Chain A
Amino acid sequence: MRRVVITGMGAISALGHDAPSCWREMLAGRSAIGPIQAVAAEVLRAPIAAEVRGYDPLAHFDDKRLALLDRVSQFALVSAREAVRQSGLDFETDGLRDRTAVIVGTAVGGETSNAEASRRLYGENGRVHPFTIVRVMANAPACQLSIEYGVTGPAFAVVSACASSNHALAQALQMIRGGSVDVALSGGAEACITLGLTKAWEAMRVLAEDTCRPFCLQRRGLVLGEGAAIFVLEEYEHARRRGATILAEFAGAGMSSDASDIVLPSQAGAANAIRRALADARLAPESIGYINAHGTATPLNDPTESRAIREVFGAHADTIAVSSTKAVHGHALGAAGALELIAAIGALNEQAVPPTANFIDPDPQCDLDYVPNIARERRVDAALSNSFAFGGLNAVLAIRRAE
């Protein structure tokens, strides 16, 4: 079987505008959740978010290009440029353009442009900007990456709410393994902090007013985040031949559907996805040292996810470090899994596990080792990253150290 490795990563989130700064902040457990800026605080019950701050679009794109880019596509491009630069790939050589795929997850696509169109439509003169469609469409981030690099292989978006990134990365893994491409740009992007979406999440009564406290007794719910992370995935021999630095082996992925409730998570569905990821990666449960949990900090996700991990790992569950970095970068929906893969890769490469920040007291319903508040040095040969979406759509990634 063809093996797949990761040779480039890029990210932008509330934690920072590149992957190293995002990782550093995750490891420090410094929460980037703060007073919301994109929406007037007085109309919100929970006026907090993990927003990308200090970001100047004109530092990255000229006016003409920017007119075609929703914030979500900008984030995808900024992180893709970092990832491609790190990989050292040149798409102009050896027909690589034809042998590269672009698969990007997003939950809601061009939400900012959609909100702007609605504002003009219902609140102003009823005229909508002619670039609205190309900015709003959920495949826009994937299109923009393909255009940026002249990549002519398969390119499309993957949509599965909060698991979009992981489903996208799993798809890219399989395309490289299957031989249809040698390289893929894959990950997720989200820019979801608009009046409409924050009010919609508020109406579901799942937002925390204070901060995000995964797995902890005082958790009150999730906090919205935004950003993107894009990875260069590459067939192992292809990467080895050109002497690329291998950040991690993308060993496997497991996917499942709960086929039950549209919102309530299922232990069985989550456990199935974890088991399938281990089997696909041919990893023994005992080899897993770190799990980046879905860990949304909702009352129901955290105990259900904890039980699913225990169901799969049995007694070994007690020896695994499990943390949710959503405490620091918020829940970036379709970009969540991609941002969290930065954490898992960081844990492999630095042999240090990022903590679950904002942790106060343990919840008796959540009985694993969540690495509260302080990073921990430990041996990590292989790691999992969980994503479980509304609708019961689950995707778990497995990575291991590059040899």
Chain B
Amino acid sequence: MTQTVEQQVFEIVARLGGIDIATITPESTLKDLGVDSLEAIEIIFDIEEHFGVTLPDRDPDFDNGSVQGLLNAVRQAIDAAATPKASAPSAA
């Protein structure tokens, strides 16, 4: 059975933040969870590697934003990666 995106993100946050996964809710902010900025950078890097996506640099605000904000960004990035890019018209 495949894990949901939410579960996978929660696991990465729990592992790199050194926190109990049961304490994570979409409403919690990374700050509430005790995730410092260096851990946040590492979490984003791990998420990018795990899903093969690139997250935007500053939106949402990973220092103060919620886990839900992070999840939204991850889902958007996954969707963007899955949508085939419109091919450029070939030169005549």
Name A's B-contacting residues (CB within 8 A). 45, 203-205, 209, 220, 261-264
Contact = CB atoms under 8 A, between A and B. Distances in A.
**Interface of B (DSSP majority class):** helix
A45 B57 contact: yes
Interface string B17-61: 000000000000000000011100100110000000000011000
A378 B2 CA distance: 67
Nearest to B45: A203
B38 A205 contact: no
A-B complex: 6 closest residue pairs judged by Cβ atoms? A205-B57, A263-B38, A205-B41, A204-B41, A203-B45, A45-B57
Given A205-B57, A205-B58, A220-B58, A262 B45 contact: no
Contact of A263 (B37, B44, B57): B37
Given A205-B58, A261-B38, 10 more contacts: A45-B57, A204-B41, A205-B41, A205-B44, A209-B57, A220-B58, A262-B38, A263-B37, A264-B36, A264-B37
B87 to A, nearest CB: 18
A319 B47 CA distance: 47
A205 B62 CA distance: 11
B45 to A, nearest CB: 6
Interface class of chain A by DSSP: loop
- Most B CB contacts (10 A, CB to CB) among A204, A205, A261, A264 go to A205
A203 B57 contact: no
A159 B45 CA distance: 28
Nearest to B57: A205
B41 A203 contact: yes
A209 B57 CA distance: 10
Contacts of B57: 45, 205, 209
Contacts of A220: 58
A204 B63 CA distance: 13
A220 B37 CA distance: 16
A110 to B, nearest CB: 27
Nearest to B40: A205
18 contacts: A45-B57, A203-B41, A203-B45, A204-B41, A205-B41, A205-B44, A205-B57, A205-B58, A205-B62, A209-B57, A220-B58, A261-B36, A261-B38, A262-B38, A263-B37, A263-B38, A264-B36, A264-B37
Nearest to B54: A45
Contacts of A261: 36, 38
Contacts of A262: 38
A262 B42 CA distance: 14
Nearest to A204: B41
B39 to A, nearest CB: 11
Centre residue among B37, B38, B44 by max chain A CB count within 10 A: B37
Nearest to A207: B57
B41 to A, nearest CB: 6
A269 B73 CA distance: 36
A217 to B, nearest CB: 14
Contacts of A45: 57
Interface in B47-86: 57-58, 62
